[in-house]
Amino acid sequence: MNRLIDILNFRTYDEDENYTDKPQITVGSIVLGVLLRLFILLIASLFVFKYFPVLYDNTWVLLLAIWFLVIYPAYRGYTNYYKRIDKMQSSTLCGSCKHFEHSSQLCRVYDEHVSQNHIPCEGDSWEPK
Ligand code: SF4
């Protein structure tokens, strides 16, 4: 349940994530957060439009709500995520390796998450970008 709340809230920058092999926030979780928020907002708007039909003429309110409740928070979440990954990239061996996939904090060769204190190949498979 806490994980779902984190995803919905686009949990902010947390440097501890750089030290775990199981990152909670990835690009995928941000996309999932967008879809969940969009789903909740659209369901809520169905009820609102049902009881306030006059709002059909003002659908821009829904567009504003999507911007402020979905797109902007997701953008902030992604920015925070990117800052964290950027910091990890500059301070780990994997960050300079061509096999590192920053969108999922993953090593493509070993198919494992990497972190500040976990380099799956221990440097053996490192190749420059
Ligand atoms: S090959 Fe090694 S150095 Fe490169 S990303 Fe994978 S674990 Fe990191």
Please report the pLDDT score of residue 100 as a whole number.
Answer: 92
Spatial CA neighbour of 29 closest among 20, 37, 19: 37
CA–CA dist 86, 116 (Å, integer): 12
pLDDT single digits (tens) 40-85: 999 998 888 888 887 778 888 889 999 999 999 999 888 888 888 8
Taking all residues of the chain, what is their mean pLDDT, rounded to a whole number?
Answer: 84
Please report the pLDDT score of residue 50 as a whole number.
Answer: 85
Q: What is the pTM of this model?
A: 0.76
Helix (H, G, I), strand (E, B) or coil at 112: strand
Closest ligand 1 atom to residue 100 Cα is 5
The pocket around ligand 1, CB under 6 angstroms, is made up of 93-94, 97, 99-100, 107, 109-110, 114, 119-121, 125-126
pLDDT single digits (tens) 6-18: 666 666 556 666 6
Ligand 1 centre and the CA of 90: distance in Å? 14
